[in-house]
Each structure stands twice: as C-alpha cells, then as structure tokens.
Chain A
Amino acid sequence: MDGEVKRSVRFAVVSWPLFVAALVVAPVFISNDYMLHVLVLIGLYAILAESLNIVVGFTGQFSLGHAGFWAVGAYVSAILMIRLGLSFWTASVMSMLAGYFTGVLLGLPAMRLKGDYLCIVTLGFGEIVRIFATNLEVTRGPMGIPGIPTPQIGGFSFDSELSMYYLCWACAVVTMYIAARMRHSRFGRALMSVRDDELAAVSLGVNMTYYKVQAFGIGGMFAALAGSLYASWTTFISPDVFQFSDSANIFCMMILGGLGTIAGPVLGAFLLAGLPEVLRQFAEFRLIVLGLLMIILMIYRPGGILGSYDTAGSTRQVRRRKIAREV
C-alpha cells in the first residue's frame, strides 16, 4: 500500500462511523417534520447523485438523463404495488432490476458514443421515459399515480417522516458504501481506467464494452431504488416530477461536491437539495443565486468542493488532450 491509500483508509475508518452516527442521532435534534422531510429529500438525491457518480465520475460517461432511471424505478415500483399488490420490498427489488436493465439498454448505444453525443442520447432517454409515462395507460398519463402504499415490515408501517428518514438514509449509506468499495475493487479500477484512457485500458485487456454497460446498469439500478423510495414516500408520482431539470440538477450535485469522490455527491445533495429549502423565504431568488453560484464555483474551483485527489485523472487527461492538439 502506498501512502495515499493508507491515508485514505485511515480517513475512512474515522469518517464512516462519524457520518453514520451523525445521521442516526440527527432526528434527536430535529423534531420538526418539515426539516425531516427536507432531510429525506436530501437522502434520495444523495442516492441519485452517488449512482450517477458511478457512471460519470468513475467511468467518465456523460449522462444527462438520470431522472429517467429515477422515473423507471418509481413507476415500476408503484405499478407493481398497486396493480399486483406486491409488498414494497419485492417491488423495490423488481424496480432495481428494471433500472439495471434499462441502464444496460442505454449503455448499448453509449458504447459507440462519447462526450456531447452521449450527452444528447442520455438526455433523449430521460425525455423518452417522461413522454412514455405521460402517454401510457398503465402510468395513467399526466394524472399520475396516487395512493402508492408505504413500506411495511411486520406490523410496522413506514408512514412517518422519521421512519422514512431512517429508511432512505440507510439506503443512501449502503449506496455510498458500495460505491466506496467498488472504487477500490478490480471492477472499479477497470471503470476508472476506461475513464482515464480508453485506448490504454483496452490495450491492457479491459473489456471496455462490458464495463461501460455495467456502469450504466449499476447507476440505473441505484437510481431506480431512489425512485422506488420516492414513490412510497410521497405516495403520488406524475411525469412532471422527472424533468430534464432534475437530471441536470443531479448532475450538478455530483459536480459541485466533487466528481468521482464518495462524499462529494452527498455534499452536493445537501447543498442543491437542502439549501433551496432552507432559503425558502427567499424563494424567488434562490434559483437565481444557485445559478450564479454554479458559475462562480466553476471559475474558482472547477473540480468541485471536495474534488482534488480524484479529479487529478481528468485534469491529466485534459492536459494530455491539449498536448495532443498542439502536436
């Protein structure tokens, strides 16, 4: 192990328990339901941003259609629960499978495309999902699906904000943990090698197609989990919830926090999902300020708030590209 890895391991041993402990005790200090509501929302966005991070941060595949997976998860889960009477747990596992396969499906054209072309294809994917949700009969079109049951276990029902807070953040922590473990695994290193230098990765025998498709699949799976949680939490979903602006928002959370880091997307979720709620008294200005903030941050800290170590790869790549252009 070199020094860098050792340091990051030592950091992880302290930071993970601290983070989890903070999450567990937080409701003791936050008694009001509105704040808990905001925290649940942040937890859901944390899952979304973290799962997008696997696609964009680890594998370097641009994706501007992440809300599409979110919608797939929410609709599959809601429809299975209402039409087939499945429990939340079965439905959410099914929705994660659906998210995975949708991701693989989207990964197929992504094999051939990169950069801006990939952006537009993923963006188109998000729109296509929304258009289908608006037009299909099973999704009840623009009217949406009301009365989605809440998760239940034994006799206990997750119908309070507090119980949903624990459920959502448990899922968020699991997602973060899996992402963190993945990053240091053979699988994760293969993803990052594809990101840093496709040609070199392929020359060393990394099956690029497989990893790109898997990255989309896994990203889609966790986003679908967030969707499934969202559906049962709000008990109502409609196509309006899953707009392009949400995909862009999730993308920004990931970038602002720090692309390719584990804590970054979660921090981004706190900033972009939490701040607008906290600043609700300035409702008219909050998105204006947010837009300005994004520009300013990109000028002064383009790697994101936590991004320094991890973005080294991408800046190196930029430099290499620049050199290549000059030669």
Chain B
Amino acid sequence: MFFQQLVNGLAVGGIYALIAIGYTMVYGILFFVNFAHGDIYMLGTYCAFFIFGFMGIEVTGGVINVPQFFAALIPSMLICGVMGIALEKFAYRPIRNGSRLSAMISALGASLFLCNTAMYLFGSQTKPMPKLFAGEYITIGNTIISYIQLAVLVVSILLMLALHFFIKHTKLGKAIRAVSDDQRAAVLMGIDMNRVISATFAIGSALAGAAGIMVGIYYGAVYPTMGAVAGIKAFTAAILGGIGNIPGAMLGGVLLGIIESLGGAYISFGYRDAIAFFVLIIALCLMPTGILRKGRT
C-alpha cells in the first residue's frame, strides 16, 4: 500500500515538477507569477490531441506506441514554447517596468483569454485521449507499476536532466542564471535581457506542454479548464521547493505528488487536495523561503 502510493505519487509529482519549473524560472527572472502557465500546459495537451488525430489514431480507447508518443511530444513542446514567447511578448513585455501587481492582473487576464479561447475553439466538454501501452504493468512485491507511470517518470527525469545540462553548460543557460542572480550586473555585462526572458518563457512553456501531454495520456482526458487546478498545484510545488530555484521546483513537485498520494490513501481521498494545501501552509510558516531557498527573495 505504502509503496504503491509512493509510486503513484512519484508519477504525478514528476508532472507537477515539470510545470513548476516554468513558474519558478519566470519568477527567478521577472519576480511575478505567470498565472497563464497552467493554460499553456492545457494547450500542450490539446496539441497532442490534434496531432494524434492527424496521425489517424483513434482517441477513444486508442493505443499509441513510443515513437508515436515522441512524434506528438516534440511538436507540442515546440508549439508551447512559441506560445510562451508570444504570451510574454504581448501580455508581459509592455508592463515589464510596471508594478508586480499589474503583471499579476495581466497574467490573470491572459489565463482567462487562453482558457476561454480554448473553450470556444475546442468545446468545453472533456475529450478522450489515447493510451500509451495497453494498460500493461510490472509487479514488484505487492506494488503495481504500470508502464505509463514508468514512461512518465522516465520522460520527466530525462527532461529535467536536459534542462539541468542546458542551464549549467550552455551559454544561454549561463545567461539565464546570470540574470536571475543579478539583473543589473548581467545587463551591464552585455547580456540581452529580452533574449533571456524569451528563452525562459520558451523553456518553461515547452516543459509545461510536455507535462500536459503526459497528463492527458495518464488520465486519458483533455478539457479546457484542466490548467487551473494543475497550475495551482504546480505553483504550490514551486513555492514549497523555494520559488526561483529550479532544483527546488523539481523537489517540491515530487514531494507534493507523494504527500498528496499518501494523504489521499491514509487520511481521506476526498480531502486529498486539502491535505496538500495544509502541508503547504504549515511548511511556509515554518520555512517561509521554501525548502531550497534561493539567495534572496
């Protein structure tokens, strides 16, 4: 039972972590919460939905294989990345020097816009998504690990490793770190702020898109308002780990997923989401800067 919930929590946590990275990266550079991030994630799922349709895969009860999965994953991530850049350009760039409050409102506006545009274009009803592997699983002791959970974990870990490599070992990654450390000094050293910010949005949104596809396949459903709850959870994860801190977001996501699964199993399934928030509030009161704090807040 415990290990079963741990596995479930890890799979969901990996997805939370991917979304949380986007929140945390934007916060690390622009110091505001990109509320439209959850909607980018939702659009990622829809991208995959239409790509599967385009490839002629039956969405209801259909099964996809690994190459088909990647064939949908990569273009969806690209499209989401582009949408992230566009979002920043239209909704956030004009008010970059304004107060944080206006950025927040603009983000809420962008979220409303994206969610309702999706509702208008795609319809508000829940649509089915095809499955990756036909429900096969492996058993270790009493613990059932489905292939899809394994796939979600593996893909999340691969993406996070890729991000880690990018941030630590490329020039653009270095620039992103420099800007989030000290904006003024970074600009004085000749770093192009706009480019760094666009890159941040592109990466965060692409990861959110990837998370969207995996959630769509994991739960077999896609609907326009799916971004709201996932966004709140991922934001919670980002704060739990220490906002502005990328490893923190990963840790926070995984922790939140596990806490939720265990709380849902041992305390009460109905209160699962409430448990996550209670833990968050207590954690914040005891450690106001999150688990892995960034140098300054």
- A interface, CB within 8 angstroms of B: 109, 112-113, 115-117, 119-121, 123-125, 127-128, 131-132, 134-135, 244-245, 248, 251-252, 255-256, 259, 284-285, 287-288, 290-295, 297-299, 302, 314-315, 318, 325-326
- B interface, CB within 8 angstroms of A: 27, 33, 35, 90-91, 94-95, 98-103, 105-106, 108-117, 120, 184, 228, 232, 235-236, 239, 243, 268, 270-271, 273-274, 277-278, 280-281, 284-285, 288
Q: Is the CB of A259 within 8 A of B101?
A: yes
Residues of B within 8 A of A314 (CB): 99, 101
With A and B bound together, what is the CA distance between A127 and B105 in angstroms?
Answer: 20
CB distance from A26 to the nearest CB of B (A): 29
Residue in B closest to A284 when the chains form the complex, CB atoms:
B120
Q: Is the CB of A298 within 8 A of B274?
A: no
Q: Is the CB of B113 within 8 A of A298?
A: no
Residues of B within 8 A of A125 (CB): 277, 281
Q: Is the CB of A244 within 8 A of B106?
A: no
With A and B bound together, what is the CA distance between A202 and B46 in angstroms?
Answer: 51
What would 19 more interface pairs be, CB under 8 Å, given A113-B284, A251-B108, A293-B109? A112-B285, A112-B288, A120-B235, A120-B280, A128-B274, A244-B228, A251-B105, A285-B120, A288-B112, A291-B109, A291-B113, A295-B90, A295-B113, A297-B105, A298-B98, A302-B95, A314-B99, A314-B101, A325-B184
CB distance from B223 to the nearest CB of A (A): 15
Q: Is the CB of B110 within 8 A of A295?
A: yes
Q: Is the CB of A252 within 8 A of B285?
A: no
Q: A116-B243, A259-B101, A295-B106 are in contact. Are A121 and B271 (CB under 8 A)?
A: no
CB distance from B185 to the nearest CB of A (A): 11
Ordered by A's residue number, 20 sampled pairs between the chains whose C-beta atoms are within 8 Å are A115-B100, A120-B280, A121-B284, A124-B277, A124-B280, A244-B228, A244-B232, A255-B105, A287-B115, A287-B116, A288-B113, A291-B114, A293-B109, A294-B109, A295-B106, A298-B105, A299-B106, A302-B101, A318-B100, A326-B184
CB distance from A88 to the nearest CB of B (A): 30
Q: Which of A116, A121, A291 contacts B281 (CB 8 A)?
A: A121
Residue in A closest to B235 when the chains form the complex, CB atoms:
A120
Residues of A within 8 A of B91 (CB): 295
Q: Is the CB of B273 within 8 A of A292?
A: no
CB distance from A23 to the nearest CB of B (A): 28
Q: Is the CB of B98 within 8 A of A302?
A: yes
With A and B bound together, what is the CA distance between A293 and B105 in angstroms?
Answer: 11
Residues of B within 8 A of A131 (CB): 270-271, 273-274
CB distance from A279 to the nearest CB of B (A): 13
With A and B bound together, what is the CA distance between A253 and B274 in angstroms?
Answer: 27
Q: Is the CB of A298 within 8 A of B288?
A: no
Q: A116-B243, A314-B101 are in contact. Are A124 and B236 (CB under 8 A)?
A: yes
Residue in B closest to A285 when the chains form the complex, CB atoms:
B120
Residues of B within 8 A of A134 (CB): 270
Residue in B closest to A134 when the chains form the complex, CB atoms:
B270
Count of CB-CB pairs between chains A and B under 8 Å? 123
Residues of B within 8 A of A299 (CB): 94-95, 106
With A and B bound together, what is the CA distance between A45 and B163 in angstroms?
Answer: 44
With A and B bound together, what is the CA distance between A299 and B113 in angstroms?
Answer: 16
Q: Is the CB of B277 within 8 A of A128?
A: yes
Q: Is the CB of A248 within 8 A of B280?
A: no
Q: Is the CB of B105 within 8 A of A128?
A: no
Q: A120-B236, A299-B106 are in contact. Are A245 and B284 (CB under 8 A)?
A: no
With A and B bound together, what is the CA distance between A121 and B239 in angstroms?
Answer: 10
Residue in B closest to A129 when the chains form the complex, CB atoms:
B274
Most buried by A among B106, B108, B228: B108
Residues of A within 8 A of B270 (CB): 131, 134-135
With A and B bound together, what is the CA distance between A302 and B91 in angstroms?
Answer: 13
8 smallest beta-carbon distances between A and B, as pairs: A294-B109, A291-B113, A291-B112, A124-B277, A302-B102, A287-B116, A135-B270, A131-B274
Q: Which of A112, A121, A244, A255 contacts B101 (CB 8 A)?
A: A255
Q: A123-B232, A291-B113 are in contact. Are A132 and B274 (CB under 8 A)?
A: yes
Residues of B within 8 A of A318 (CB): 99-100
With A and B bound together, what is the CA distance between A125 and B277 in angstroms?
Answer: 8
CB distance from B32 to the nearest CB of A (A): 8
Residue in B closest to A315 when the chains form the complex, CB atoms:
B99
Q: Is the CB of A252 within 8 A of B99?
A: no
Residues of B within 8 A of A256 (CB): 105
Q: A113-B284, A127-B274 are in contact. Are A119 and B110 (CB under 8 A)?
A: no
Q: Is the CB of B94 within 8 A of A117?
A: no
Residues of B within 8 A of A120 (CB): 235-236, 239, 280, 284
Q: Is the CB of A117 within 8 A of B105?
A: no
